Structure 1
């Protein structure tokens, strides 16, 4: 266990084509779950938690870690399972999503696996609207479930998707009225957040659930006219997606003649200098950390040519 805990930070430096590393953990049963190592700051044995009034029922308390006050979310309860007990024997995964730090209380933490994104599949059809899965993969003939953490966090503390009037003031989309804003994100919650934020721009919006689906659809659109930009104004893509991640999607777009002129904004809850380097490496036009509706809408305006670069 110590080896796993000690190596998390170093291994977040993974660089690879369409690859990721998952930290495997368990909640209240035998099922194994995975979280992208890029999202993980550290893993600790659960420290003493301070109960606070009016906290969401899934927030077990507040932990004071390295000078920070961090909310600790019972990941089992948040996904419809039973409360995790014996906290002094459990672990918390400290992670960063959407510009905030939180701790996820889990039963146990196991090992880190290195896999290809193309071996990560969308959740099975019919899993239902209440499913908290964003993807699944198979390791050693065992199904690993990857949770839709953005959905969990949204249910605990909903994100504001309203764009301020300052961003839309005097907006004139006449020259791009027929353009599509294309969104690629595997999280249904994230797709809806982006959709709501960008609807105020008054353009058509089309969405895909992963990079492979987005690439195929963009090629279909390009086949109609010879260049995808005749119909699509800008692509807003997540990075973490099953089958094909956002980095690979961007690299494919920029290396395909009929797609290469499309402006790509990578929009992700991943953060850090590493991602800025990868953005340049794959040729993305912009990088926006989730989720700030004004920043996202302003970036889309910029790459649509609605304001000066």
Structure 2
């Protein structure tokens, strides 16, 4: 059986070169049964994949909620993913993806699982923001000799769960406001999920903390370089411009592990504290975060815990 340390080592080796694994699956075609596109979820969020068990409908359930399933004594909600995205399965809902992230466990019903592929985050680009009501966070480009070039829509499952799973509404940030940054300093935040950015912004606003929000590690890194240049011109230290870097892990182009390592291995930036704010919870991920050099880690979504971590670091 794989130990926590083995999991940490495997994930460290994978992300050391800005790579990740994506589970590919299909939801069906359009209303005419055509365009059966590929969709993807980061493997780190998948707990298990099972054949579709009996689903118990729940009265007055939310849209696209099929009901609940009993998996080894655990009652879990089931989301009709094709219905939510707007696809029509041609062979039915045959597979259940059991996922764990952001302190939640839930199931997604899909038509078929395709394969697991290993990608570099540079192969992934942010979506234009208009896909399926922001349920697609990025587009991955696959190149192989058998299938040629394929595009995969990477789903923003955090947004889906916050919108459609009962009891998972966007939490309120009842956070203390006794945190103070140096005058003129900001928190530089990075997250590719639309709902995550909304929650982070709400929490930081309620704490009265100024921030700059970016959508990827690459965008955050470029902004950090700009702020460092501004600090030099103003004869200020970088800490007078940036109090803290708050970053997600899974992001297109450059992930949070790579962003953290670039900050912590640079003489110019390594004085900056880095706080990882990720939906990839669990002891293996927390240990993995420490291996990247981050100052602290907090799992999504708890604005109160986020505020406490920021207070501890600053």
- TM-score norm. by structure 2 comes to 0.86
CA contact (8 A) 2:190 2:215 kept: yes
Query: Which of residues 129, 132, 136 is equivalent to 2:135?
Result: 132
Alignment partner of 2:219 out of 210, 213, 221: 213
User: Paired residue for 1:152, among 157, 160, 164?
Assistant: 160
5+ residue gaps, structure 2: 1-5, 30-35, 143-147
Per the TM alignment, residue 164 of structure 1 is displaced from its structure 2 partner at its CA by 2.5
CA deviation vs aligned residue, 1:135-189 (integer Å, no higher than 9, x gap): 1112130111101111111211453432326x33xx262x634220111000111
Aligned counterpart, 1:6:
none
TM superposition shift of 1:98? 1.2
Question: Residues 203 and 303 of structure 2 are in contact (CA less than 8 Å); yes or no, is this contact kept in structure 1?
Answer: yes
- Using a 3 Å threshold, how does the CA distance of structure 1 residues 187 and 66 change in structure 2: closer, same or farther? same
SS at match of 1:57: coil
- Sort the Cα spacing of 1:85 and 1:70 in 2 relative to 1 into closer, same or farther, 3 A: farther
CA deviation string 1:108-140 (max 9, x = no partner): 0011101111111111x4736824211111213
Please state how far the C-alpha of 1:79 moved relative to its aligned partner. 2.0
- Quote the Cα distance in structure 1 between the aligned partners of 2:7 and 2:90: 28
Q: Is residue 288 of structure 1 aligned with residue 298 of structure 2?
A: yes
Normalised to the residue count of structure 1, the TM-score between the two structures is: 0.87
Match in the other structure for 1:142: 150
* Residues 253-282 of structure 1: CA deviation (Å, up to 9, x unaligned): 011122111111101111222212222211
Match of 1:249 in 2: 259
Q: Which residue of 2 aligns with 1:3?
A: none
Distance 2:133 2:57 in 1: 28
Q: Deviation digits for residues 288-307 of structure 1, max 9, x if unmatched? A: 00001100111112222xxx
> Could you say which residue in structure 2 is the equivalent of 1:109?
113
1:55 corresponds to 2:61? yes
Q: CA deviation at 1:48?
A: 0.4
Q: Which residue of 1 aligns with 2:33?
A: none
Question: Structure 2 vs 1, CA of residues 22 and 220 (structure 1 numbering), >3 Å: closer, same or farther?
Answer: same
Give the whole-Å Cα distance in 1 for the aligned partners of 2:269 and 2:227: 10
The 2-side partners of 1:128 and 1:67 are apart by: 36
For the aligned residue pairs, the C-alpha RMSD in angstroms reads 2.2
Question: Is the 1:84–1:106 Cα contact (8 Å) retained in structure 2?
Answer: no
**Residue-pair matches, total:** 289
Q: Deviations along 1:86-124, whole A, 9 cap, x unmatched?
A: 44xx0010001210100000000011101111111111x
* Residues 246 and 276, structure 2, Cα contact 8 Å, conserved in 1: yes
Cα 1:126–1:267 shift into 2, 3 Å: closer
Question: For structure 1, which runs of at least 5 residues remain unmatched after alignment?
Answer: 1-9, 305-309
Distance between the aligned counterparts of 2:90 and 2:53, measured in 1?
14
